[in-house]
Amino acid sequence: MIEVQDLTKSFGEKTAVDHVSFTVNKGEILGFLGPNGAGKTTTMRILTGFLPATSGTAKIAGFDVFDDSMEVRRRIGYLPEAPPLYTDMTVWSYLDFVARIKNVPAERRKTLIENALVKTNLEDKRDELIKRLSRGYKQRVGIAQAMVHDPDVIILDEPTVGLDPKQIIEVRHLIKSLAGSHTIILSTHILPEVSMTCDRVVIISAGKVVAVDTPANLTSQLKGGQRVRLEAEADEVALRAALQEIPAIHHIDVEPAGGSGRIAATVESAQGEDVRSQIAAKVVGRGWPLYELRGMSVSLEDVFLQLTTEDSEHAAKPAKN
Amino acid sequence: MKGLYAIYRKEMGHYFVSPVAYIIVGVFLFLCSYFFTRLLTAVIENSLEASMSGGGGAFDVPSIVVRYFFGTVSTILLFLTPTLTMGVYSEERKRGTMEMLMTSPVSDTAIVLGKYLASMTLLVIMLAPTFLYSAYMFFHSEPAAPWRVLLTAYLGVLLLGGALLALGSFFSSLTESQIIASILTFGAALLLWVLDYGQPGSGPVASTMQYLSIFRHVEDFTRGVIDTSSLIFYASFICFGLFLTVRSLDSMRWRRA
């Protein structure tokens, strides 16, 4: 549905998007993950036809975003970072306006607006002025605006930013419910969002794609080992020495925790070995009170940090030529 | 051009849900009524004095009033039209809605024309009530005054207003600040007004300056004359202003970071 090939965009000297390539299949939710300023918004603006690319091509439903901009614009719904709202309109008249400029034929307009209102849970706000709505409702109007003309592709730039936790969950559910009939690209710098909503993730850093995969694959790939955290009342040096006796452990971090002489240690061990019982035996065997012992899973956050920091180290060299 | 009508509707709604349009129209009508009454009284007094002292023949009160009145209306428009157009694009840019318009299947030309036609409609709405009192004057004048003068005067003022609105929409598309847009529009309009001041009567420079002076062309219209060169001047002024606005929108795609 969406094919991006070697897309590059420079603003003067600065390259915001650097040879980005990826594809999105029909009905899929693609997460665009990256730190602020990584080039997510720029990529989305190119896809929507708001900005032209410096080089490379992007196609949506077979139409080039630059050469067939009008055809592309008919097929996309776009929610920019700040929802583009006319605050002195009512929700209904605003959506009616959007449907009109998106070329929705008159006989389908009412049904589609109604549909968008139902999906975004805005039915009882239809006659309210947008400026009287809370931040969360405004965001929903923004999403309703992006889907009101039933487009093939919906592009959402940070759809959950500024919402409270309950609203975030609602918006995520909404996005998931839109998949299948629509192809969705959403950008975010919030990691749980990606693992919860997206089928695939593109991790982008400093304008370059550093990884494309499913959230599950990304985490398991980088799960080099296992981590265990323990908290005990012991001497720092002695605890470290005791833990080093366990052969499977290859890395130990020790720091004081929560007063009264307690020590917290984070231990990394080889994959597939559960060192918890051995640790417990060591600690209790020496008569140290053990307060906590738990395994930690590698989160997408670690993957993300690893990829984006690795990238900036690696990127420094090839960027020079 | 379906998008054009949608944009037009939205703009009209925008003018009339906010107090802006009501205030501008209100101030305009108040000033016009004031000047109209003062002018009419002054001209009637003068004509009475003239007839009592026995000098001169008939005094064409309506035509004189029309000429002065529409001169005044032009001046009021110079001050008020920048406020009509200042927000047209700058506010959309500031609110981020420009991004939505430009990623919708609507051409830049349709956006510009839709918005321009809406501001022209507001201008017509502004001017319409003044027709009542000029018409009242014409209706009661003895002998009957030529209606043609009144109609051409309105045509002239509409063209002048249209030119000012096209100028204003261009400046509004350049900036995110409404104040900057209105000051630039006012400055440019004032410059175009005084362009022929201090130019000696003849010579190519002087005649060019006189031709470019945006207010000079209204004078012919207020005398009941439709001068083709003035028509062409205003038409090309409006087209050029709108063309620049379209280009300016297009350039946003290339400029914005």
Angle at B113 between CA B111 and CA B115, to 5 degrees: 70
Are B105 and A82 an interchain contact pair (Cβ–Cβ within 8 Å)?
Answer: no
pTM reported for the whole predicted model = 0.82
> Domain holding A250: CATH number?
3.30.70.3190
**Number of structural domains found in chain B:** 1
Residue A209 lies in a domain: yes
Q: Which of A191, A220, A249 is the last residue of a domain?
A: A220
SS3 A296: strand
Instruction: Report d(CA A28, CA A197) in Å as an integer.
Output: 10
pLDDT in tens, B57-116: 566 778 888 888 998 999 999 999 999 999 899 999 998 899 999 999 999 999 999 999
Instruction: Report H helices in chain A.
Output: 40-47, 69-75, 91-101, 106-119, 135-147, 165-178, 191-197, 215-222, 236-244, 276-285, 300-315
Domain that holds residue B188: 2-255
Residue A200 lies in a domain: yes
Tokens, residue A260: 């009264």
My answer on whether A162 and A283 are in the same domain is no
Q: Which residues of B touch A70 (CB under 8 A)?
A: 105, 107
Chain B within 8 Å of A86 (Cβ-Cβ)? yes
- Report the greatest alpha carbon distance in chain B: 75
Instruction: Report d(CA B38, CA B128) in Å as an integer.
Output: 20
- HSE (CB half, 13 Å, CA atoms) of B165? 22
Q: Which residues contact A231 (CB under 8 A, 6 or more apart)?
A: A257, A258, A262, A263, A264, A265, A290, A291, A292, A293
Domain that holds residue A195: 2-220
My answer on whether A77 and A184 are in the same domain is yes
My answer on whether A216 and A276 are in the same domain is no
Most B-contacting residue of A101, A104, A161 (CB-CB within 10 A), to test interface: A101
My answer on whether A142 and A264 are in the same domain is no
Chain B within 8 Å of A51 (Cβ-Cβ)? yes
My answer on whether A229 and A101 are in the same domain is no
Question: What's phi and psi for A181, nearest 5 deg?
Answer: -80, -20
Q: pLDDT tier at A299 (50, 70, 90 boundaries)?
A: low
Q: Which residues contact B146 (CB under 8 A, 6 or more apart)?
A: B63, B224
My answer on whether A159 and A22 are in the same domain is yes
Most A-contacting residue of B100, B108, B111 (CB-CB within 10 A), to test interface: B100
pLDDT in tens, A228-254: 888 888 888 888 888 888 887 877 888
B8 → chain A, closest CA residue: A97
My answer on whether A193 and A272 are in the same domain is no
Give A106→chain B minimum CA distance, Å. Answer: 11
With a cut of 0.90, is the ipTM above it? no
**Number of structural domains found in chain A:** 2
State the DSSP H helix or E strand holding residue A14, giving kind and residue range, or none if neither.
strand A14-24
Question: What's phi and psi for A307, nearest 5 deg?
Answer: -65, -45
Q: Which of A171, A193, A220 is the last residue of a domain?
A: A220
pLDDT in tens, A248-271: 787 788 887 766 778 888 887 776
Are B18 and A88 an interchain contact pair (Cβ–Cβ within 8 Å)?
Answer: yes
Say which of A83, A84, A103 has its CB closest to residue B105. A103
My answer on whether A241 and A191 are in the same domain is no
Q: Which of A220, A238, A262 is the last residue of a domain?
A: A220
My answer on whether A198 and A147 are in the same domain is yes
Question: For chain B, what is the mean pLDDT?
Answer: 88
> Domain holding A7: CATH number?
3.40.50.300
My answer on whether A215 and A232 are in the same domain is no
Query: Could you tell me how far CA A266 lies from the centroid of its own chain?
Result: 28
Say which of A52, A87, A100 has its CB closest to residue B253. A52
My answer on whether A256 and A191 are in the same domain is no
Q: pLDDT tier at A316 (50, 70, 90 boundaries)?
A: very low
My answer on whether A254 and A183 are in the same domain is no
Do A155 and A47 contact (CB within 8 A), yes or no?
Answer: yes
